[in-house]
């Protein structure tokens, strides 16, 4: 059972990395075009991470109370919706609102994911197993970052956001189902 759970987490981590890798390289470029200011984009990204940082501890507490799979699923749904909504962002106000939604979703996912990972890794092999999971992230992020440029060239920015939202959503359903929502 532990092997299947580890595989599920590795797959989920890879899907999230695929989503993030698609968006990461183009995020600032796209939103600078939409709102017209690189400095505002940087401010919004900074605010996003501050919100995530403030919400991760309460989110971890919530995952301990209602279940890690359920918390991950809720966060993933919120993040997936927000990523797809990027396609429709046409103003600073809308970008801020979508980023807040995404920050809430992400802050629910991360503590749940790492808590699940800590529960299923063995004490003896925890470093290796954590390294394995993180290597899935890094490799997938790198490959998807390269692919994102090709996808944008062929299909445009909207395709990236749609695909990223779908990949994130699939990872959320996978974890939610595997870890008993």
CATH number at residue 74: 1.20.1250.20
Report pLDDT digits (tens) over 152-177. 999 999 999 999 999 999 988 888 88
User: What is the average pLDDT value for the chain, to the nearest integer?
Assistant: 89
| N- to C-terminal Cα separation, the chain | 17
pLDDT at 65: 95
Q: Which of 50-54, 109-113, 124-128, 145-149: highest mean pLDDT?
A: 50-54
Name which of 112, 114, 105 is nearest 63 in CA terms. Answer: 112
pTM of full prediction above 0.85: yes
Q: What share of the chain is helix, strand, coil (3-state, %, to 5)?
A: 90, 0, 10
Euclidean distance between CA atoms 138 and 149, whole angstroms = 18
Domain count within the chain: 1
Sole residue written with tokens 């993933």: 76
**Cα 12 off chain centre by:** 10
The answer to whether residues 4 and 12 touch, using CB atoms and an 8 Å cutoff, is no
> What domain range is 88 assigned to?
2-178
Please give the distance of CA 132 from its chain centroid, rounded to a whole number.
Answer: 18
Length of the chain: 181
């Amino acid at each position: 059972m532990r092997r299947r759970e580890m595989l599920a987490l590795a797959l989920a981590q890879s899907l999230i990395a695929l989503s993030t890798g698609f968006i990461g390289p183009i995020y600032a470029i796209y939103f600078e075009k939409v709102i017209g200011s690189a400095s505002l984009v940087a401010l919004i990204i900074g605010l996003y991470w501050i919100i995530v940082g403030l919400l991760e501890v309460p989110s971890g507490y919530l995952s301990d109370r209602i279940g890690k799979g359920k918390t991950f699923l809720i966060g993933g749904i919120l993040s997936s919706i927000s990523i797809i909504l990027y396609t429709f962002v046409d103003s600073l106000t809308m970008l801020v609102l979508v980023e807040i939604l995404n920050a809430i979703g992400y802050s629910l996912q991360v503590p749940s994911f790492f808590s699940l990972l800590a529960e299923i890794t063995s004490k003896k092999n925890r470093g290796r197993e954590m390294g394995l999971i993180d290597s899935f992230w890094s490799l997938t992020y790198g490959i998807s970052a390269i692919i994102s440029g090709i996808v944008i060239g062929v299909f445009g920015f909207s395709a990236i956001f749609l695909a990223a939202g779908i990949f994130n959503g699939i990872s959320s359903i996978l974890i939610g189902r595997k870890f008993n929502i």
